[in-house]
């Protein structure tokens, strides 16, 4: 049962991640809370606490390349195989793939993944620090609290 729930969560994470905050707002009468400043501070605090240096993009995504890789580089519509571990700034893991990874289209995932995986080449690995506006937005999504910064250790295994 536990494996079934993990599989459902993983599929939901990657297949139905295209929900934008605007789409989510249709289901609630509460206005969306802007977590931009809080997420930015949470990411900066996490980086400082863990003595990490990351690159910030114009969208607010932070990424760290630990292994550049030397294979193909994906595009925003590529299908890729990625091994990952997803966790919050407090270190609590909310999802993790098997070492063999999982395959998906980069146009089927949260914006932070679509943007972030493009910085890696096949064989590359690193960390994505995704503010909520590039993740699931202001509202709770399954087990992920609204406004959450999502951190992913990623390894780009293959551009399919």
**C-alpha–C-alpha distance, residues 120 and 126, integer Å:** 8
Query: At 70, is the secondary structure helix, strand, or coil?
Result: coil
* Inter-residue contact 74 to 117 (CB < 8 Å): yes
Q: Please give the span between the terminal C-alpha atoms of the chain, in angstroms, as a whole number.
A: 30
Find where tokens 């193909």 sit: 72
Q: Is the CB of residue 80 less than 8 Å from the CB of residue 158?
A: yes
- Find how far residue 65's CA is from the centre of its chain: 15
pLDDT tens digits for range 134-144: 999 999 999 99
With beta carbons less than 8 A apart as the criterion, state whether 30 and 85 touch.
no
Specify the pairing of strand 125-130 against strand 79-87.
unpaired
pLDDT in tens, the chain (160 residues): 444 434 444 444 544 444 444 444 445 567 889 999 999 999 999 999 999 999 999 999 999 999 999 999 999 999 999 999 999 999 999 999 999 999 999 999 999 999 999 999 999 999 999 999 999 999 999 999 999 999 999 999 999 9
Q: Give the residue among 14, 42, 31, 3 at the shortest CA–CA distance from 148.
A: 42
pLDDT digits (tens, 9 = 90+) for 28-55: 567 889 999 999 999 999 999 999 999 9
From CA 118, how far away is CA 96, in angstroms rounded? 20
């Amino acid at each position: 049962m536990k494996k079934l729930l993990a599989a459902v969560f993983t599929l939901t994470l990657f297949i139905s991640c295209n929900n934008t905050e605007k789409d989510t707002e249709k289901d609630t009468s509460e206005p969306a809370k802007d977590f931009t400043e809080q997420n930015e501070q949470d990411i900066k605090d996490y980086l400082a606490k863990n003595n990490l240096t990351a690159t910030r993009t114009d969208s607010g995504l932070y990424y760290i390349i630990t292994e550049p890789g030397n294979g193909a580089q994906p595009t925003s519509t590529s299908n890729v195989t990625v091994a990952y571990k997803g966790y919050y700034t407090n270190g609590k893991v909310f999802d993790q793939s098997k070492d063999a990874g999982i395959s998906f289209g980069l146009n089927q995932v949260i914006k932070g993944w679509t943007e972030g995986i493009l910085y890696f080449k096949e064989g590359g690995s690193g960390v994505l620090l995704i503010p909520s506006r590039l993740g699931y937005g202001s509202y709770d999504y399954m087990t992920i609290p609204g406004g959450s910064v999502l951190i992913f250790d990623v390894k780009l295994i293959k551009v399919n």
